[in-house]
Amino acid sequence: MLNARFIADSDAEIAQLKADRVYKRLNHLESPQGARVQMEGRGEVIVLSSNNYLGLANHPTVVQAGVDALHRYGAGTASVRFICGTFALHRELEHELADLAGTPASLSYVSAWNANEAFTPTHAGPDDMVISDELNHASIIDSVRLAKSITKCRSAVYKHSDMVDLRAKLEGSREARRRFIWTDGVFSMEGSIAKLPDILELAREYDAIVIMDDSHATGVLGATGRGTAEHFGVVGEVDVITSTLGKALGGAAGGFVAAAESVVDLLTQRSRPQLFSNALPPTVAASSLAAVRVLRAEPQRVTQLRENANWFRAAIREAGFSPMEGETPIVPIIVGETALAIQMSELLLEQGVFVTGFGFPVVPKGEARVRCQVSADHTRDDLEEVVAAFKVAGAKAGLLT
């Protein structure tokens, strides 16, 4: 018999989420992810909330690679890699990802969350200090929490991109055996870029290890889309790079850690998400590999993405809104209160634009925003239509006079 009290408690929590207007409703798509999609009950809408930065989620080469791999390798490994074997396809993908990141080796995981979760408990021990940017992704935060529980490492948090505070945290942990600096490359809610050259300089001064989650920068930043390190001209200087295969590189799933061979091998030997999870499905591994190769063959996609983001940021400002400054395709438009962010996303969907509003506690109080994410696949007509929809929605919400 089902536990009635447990269900009643869950019902009450759901009711409170709805009353607080923070309940998340799923919108169901009936077509592949792209600049425009077919949404159940809505028809065609322009997508401005996807991480499909390069438009590769439905690229013919990427899709066909997954189909071919399904026929060649089947659905999957049916167990973890060291027990039942791993496909040569995974090794090929990991070689390509290491080269893209500018490191000697890489290891793939079933998600970028797992990749981040794997690293800290594997490498940070009881005599080590892990220092994390306060706006790091939840997967980094949980990775550090997990390590503190399992290996008893210590941790500290520095103010967002505040190099004075980072220096103070490094100075205050000189007695630690090793110090790890964890940072996002691009911070997803702000679209801001980590001060990587400054972080590397401090790391050299204090003999610290830099770990950077480049999920929102891989395929996005740098002349050829190699990420934050290429953006700043420091490819090969970051100790550890983690990233995703679920955003610019095909949009399916999966993640990876890229670093020196022994650092990666220790993850193979000890990281629990690797030791107790099946390998990436061959369809995903193959489509991700194809996406990396399309990125290399078509660097103009990165250029187009940058041009689209710059045009949209300027156009939405001219329309009377307040986008956060930045150099990335993440364009958060500040509206103030959470209720306004939710209302704007609903009004925009009525206008045929799918974009998500975020408020507290995801972002600070008073800084609720509609986070727009531009793709290389958006045409100028798409973006002009989005700006027009924002004007209509903004007027209805009382944001524009």
Catalytic residues: 188, 216, 247
184, 239, 292, 358, 365 from 160: Cα distances, Å: 10, 21, 31, 19, 16
Beta bridge partners of 107: 257
Buried (b) or exposed (e) across 55-72, using 16+ Cβ within 10 A?
A: bbbbbeebbebbeebeee
Tabulate helix, strand, coil % of the chain (nearest 5): 45, 20, 40
Residue among 314, 308, 309, 320 nearest 391 (CA): 320
**Residue 394 dihedral angles phi and psi, to the nearest 5°:** -60, -40
Q: How many CA atoms lie within 13 A of 57 on its CB side?
A: 22
What is d(CA 229, CA 370) in angstroms, rounded to the nearest whole number? 28
Cβ atoms of residues 146 and 298 within 8 Å: no
Distance, first Cα to last Cα, the chain: 57
